[in-house]
Amino acid sequence: MSVDVGLFGPDSVTWKLHREPILLLGGLRSLYLQALHPRAVAGVAQNSGYRTDPWGRLSRTSTYVATVIFGTTEEVQRAASRVRRFHALMSATDPRTGEKFRIDEPKLLRWVHVAEVESFLSTATRAGGRLTPDEIDRYYTEQLKSAELVGLDPATVPATAAEVEAYYQAMRPELGLTKDGAETALFLTVPPAPEWGPPALRLGLTLGPTRWAYLGVASTAFGLLPPWARRLYGGPGWPTTDLTANLSARGLRLLLDTLINSLPRKYRVPPSARPPSPAPA
């Protein structure tokens, strides 16, 4: 019986890349980048419960990404259908113009998609992951499937590194730091402690060394932004910042790999190396 490996499969660059735990850092980087689009961040601020339930939203987003990457075809389609239904019901108001707009506008969906996949890719490679130029382009092309899931026409989505760079250049005049963007970036940098988990963990995330460790992670994610994006936040665009961020990302990747390798073997096998179940769990 053939096994349903979903959209990508074990021979894809997507599975190769997404077995890297450092992509958690890439996810944080993508949120800083997405927040520079005034309409995108307004849509999140006006519709999302991230301020009241940030860890729950993070968990749901991570679950969706993992399902799209490693889930069976049925699991992927079911998750994507749910997201499209939610987006279709949402709208927001542009705080600059007062214009009302839909959350599922193609321009907004495209910005979120490109910022996410580019952040995953650039974070992994700058942290020491090895991909050839051909594999980098293949990753972007494979991710057209993810773009289509949220309702985008794949023909309108950048599919190579050169196209992504050209897209960013074209988008830069539309980007800027708004009140919503600044509040979101501050929230990402200093999030509240979760209401679940052992008291020691919650206290650590509030006052202790865990809080300082997270600040280091957040500053690394911010440092991995393109220089032009850091400048929009009022930060430095110096090459030395890029170098420092690269070194920090490599250190975090080494730390994560060491921690994972210290786990029992059954927990060390990345999802992409496990045989997918033939039916949804």
pLDDT given at position 207 = 52
Q: Which two tokens stand for residue 222?
A: 């911010």
Q: Give the model's pLDDT for residue 56.
A: 72
What's residue 203's pLDDT?
Answer: 52
Phi/psi for 63 (5° steps) reads -65, -40
pLDDT digits (tens, 9 = 90+) for 98-110: 999 999 999 999 9
Pairing of strands 100-102, 91-93: antiparallel
Tell whether 55 is covered by a domain: yes
Domain assignment present for 156: yes
Residue 207 belongs to domain spanning: 13-273
Helical H segments across 95-208, by residue range: 106-126, 133-142, 144-149, 161-171, 179-189, 199-206
Can you tell me the mean pLDDT for 155-180? 97
Q: With respect to residue 191, please indicate whether it lies within any of the assigned structural domains.
A: yes
Q: How many domains does the chain have?
A: 1
| Residue 2 belongs to some domain of the structure | no
- Domain membership of residue 61 (yes or no) is yes
| Positive or negative torsion for Cα 159, 162, 163, 168 | positive
Whether 5 is in a domain gets the answer: no
**Of residues 216 and 148, more confidently modeled:** 148
User: Cβ–Cβ contacts within 10 Å for residue 42, how many?
Assistant: 22
For residue 198, pLDDT beyond 50 = yes
pLDDT tens, position by position, 168-180 = 999 999 999 999 9
Q: Per-residue pLDDT averaged across 142-154, rounded?
A: 97
pLDDT of residue 102: 95
Residue 47: CA count within 13 A, CB half-sphere: 19
In a domain, 6, yes or no: no
Examine the pLDDT at 39 and tell me if it is beyond 70. yes
Q: In the prediction, which pLDDT does 83 show?
A: 94
Average pLDDT, the chain: 87
**How far from 256 is each of 79, 146, 215, 263, CA to CA, in Å?**
28, 26, 17, 11
- Give per-residue pLDDT as tens, 55-99: 677 788 889 999 999 999 999 999 999 999 999 999 999 988 999
Q: What angle do CA 108, 110, 112 make, to 5 degrees?
A: 70
Q: Is 272 a residue whose pLDDT tops 50?
A: no
Which of 67-81, 120-134, 207-221 shows the lowest per-residue confidence on average (mean pLDDT)?
A: 207-221
Q: Is residue 7 part of a domain?
A: no
Range in 159-168, 173-182, 186-195 the model is least confident about: 186-195
Q: Is the pLDDT of residue 147 over 60?
A: yes
What percent of the chain clears pLDDT 70, i.e. is strictly above it?
Answer: 85
